[in-house]
Structure 1
Amino acid sequence: MQPRIVGTTMPVLELSLEPGEHLIAEGGDVSWLSPGFGMETSTAFGSGGRGGFMSGLKRLIGGGQLFLTKYTAPRTGGFVAFAAQLPGVIRELQIDAADVYMVQQGSFMVSTNDVEVSVGLQKKLGGGIFGGAGVVFQKLSGNGTAWVQLAGEIVEYDLAAGESLLVHPGHLALFRAEMPLEFATVKGVKNKFFGDSMFLAQIHGPGHVWLQSMTPSKLAAAIEPYLPRDTSPPSSST
């Protein structure tokens, strides 16, 4: 399998497969592909060769899809392409027993068959007058290769033992699964829900962490004022 990442702001991941090779992706995420691929959908895919419906259910709880699709290359080989859903970058991760990762919900793109995609962490943050917000991370384990999409520009840090970093949860894109993570309130800063504190994630070393400059919620908030609105008066019934 030969990967190729094309583009800058909105990159595309193109994977060239030899005859009989296959990969796993969430249904509907494929952008284009060469003819002849076999396609099969199941809850068992993305479970590292283990489990079935329950593995799919755990993945669903973790913000992914219940069903994943396996793409199998024809006898002549071929390629499959996946376009990023947000401006940012695509990163390749090598997964094995020593390299397990936690990735922000919605960032997983595609993987080889023996990578397990499951729920890693769920946390509801705050109450506030709007009911608070939540953060979900998916866990990538097993043995193989996975590709993830991260939003905006990426800043990486290596934290040594005893070091930690306070991060807005939406900017915490990817980190090694063995790194302890906790959430705390920071007093004195009014949050967007008019609370008296701000929730931050505190991640502890040792380990590597990837931070993203863009979050889906902030992108949506920036676009929202420019979306068309229905200004027509409500119709009256007679």
Structure 2
Amino acid sequence: PGLLAFAAKLPGQILPMEITAGQGYMVHRHGFLCATLGVQFSIGFQQRLGAGVFGGTGFRLQKLTGQGQSWVALNGEVVVYDLQPGNTLRVHPSQVGMFQESVQFNVVTVPGIQNMFFGGSGLFLAALTGPGRVWLQSMSMQHLAHAIQEYLPKASG
């Protein structure tokens, strides 16, 4: 009998997710807000991509398993896809908000594409293969920082 409030770091949506035995979720690195006692939280995926990607820290996903209620923050607009078995969705890794554990996930390099933002190491895409539900987000911390950079005060001298 009280009120507990949580807020996301960026504009977007906070989604309540029912975690059940056998149906966990993989969530973007800043997505987990809170959960009831029966939900376990761990690192579900980690891969270094290149010095310029995600600030040199690589790409990480959080894993939510167990049984209970969890709340997840997704940034910007949220688009949901229900992937059929064998269907693959390829998106920029920062657009991956969350997906069911049944979805296979890989980070792949698009061969032949060189990009200065990626240190000349190529363009990386997240490949999500069904079956299962995928939630994409339209904004990431990195994209927001890049978008507002020109409006921030510049150091003088």
TM-score by length of 1: 0.61
User: What aligned pairs does 1:103-118 form with structure 2 within 5 A after superposition?
Assistant: 103-118=27-42
Q: 2:98 aligns with which of 174, 182, 193?
A: 174
- Encode CA deviations 1:204-235: one digit per residue, 9 max, x unaligned: 1000000001111010111122111231x4xx
Q: Using a 3 Å threshold, how does the CA distance of structure 1 residues 229 and 122 change in structure 2: closer, same or farther?
A: same
Could you tell me how far apart the structure 1 residues matched to 2:118 and 2:50 are?
9
Deviation at 1:196, TM superposition (A): 5.6
In structure 2, the partner of 1:202 is: 127
Could you tell me how far apart the structure 1 residues matched to 2:56 and 2:125 are?
13
- Do 1:163 and 1:206's aligned partners in 2 also have CA atoms closer than 8 Å? yes
- Do 2:50 and 2:121's aligned partners in 1 also have CA atoms closer than 8 Å? no
SS of equivalent residue, structure 2 residue 74: strand
Q: Using a 3 Å threshold, how does the CA distance of structure 1 residues 230 and 120 change in structure 2: closer, same or farther?
A: same
Would you say 1:143 and 2:67 are equivalent positions? yes
TM-score by length of 2: 0.91
Percentage identity across aligned positions? 46
**Larger Rg: 1 or 2?**
1
- Encode CA deviations 1:118-138: one digit per residue, 9 max, x unaligned: 11000111357xx95511000
In structure 2, the partner of 1:27 is: none
Judge which range, 216-225 or 132-141, deviates more. Answer: 132-141
Superposed structure 1 runs of 4+ greater than 2 Å apart: 187-191
| Unmatched tracts of structure 2, length 5 or more | none
| Unmatched tracts of structure 1, length 5 or more | 1-76, 234-238
User: What aligned pairs does 1:36-185 form with structure 2 within 5 A after superposition?
Assistant: 77-126=1-50, 134-185=58-109
SS of equivalent residue, structure 2 residue 145: helix
- Do 1:167 and 1:202's aligned partners in 2 also have CA atoms closer than 8 Å? yes
- Do 1:188 and 1:196's aligned partners in 2 also have CA atoms closer than 8 Å? no
Aligned CA RMSD, in angstroms, stands at 2.0
In structure 2, the partner of 1:56 is: none
Could you tell me how far apart the structure 2 residues matched to 1:162 and 1:145 are?
29
Deviation at 1:189, TM superposition (A): 3.0
Deviation at 1:187, TM superposition (A): 2.5
Could you tell me how far apart the structure 2 residues matched to 1:212 and 1:124 are?
21
Deviation at 1:197, TM superposition (A): 2.2
Could you tell me how far apart the structure 1 residues matched to 2:102 and 2:11 are?
28
Could you tell me how far apart the structure 2 residues matched to 1:141 and 1:196 are?
34
Could you tell me how far apart the structure 2 residues matched to 1:199 and 1:155 are?
20
Deviation at 1:150, TM superposition (A): 0.2
Could you tell me how far apart the structure 2 residues matched to 1:102 and 1:188 are?
30
Aligned residue pairs, count: 156
Q: Using a 3 Å threshold, how does the CA distance of structure 1 residues 220 and 127 change in structure 2: closer, same or farther?
A: closer
In structure 2, give the amino acid aligned to 1:206.
P
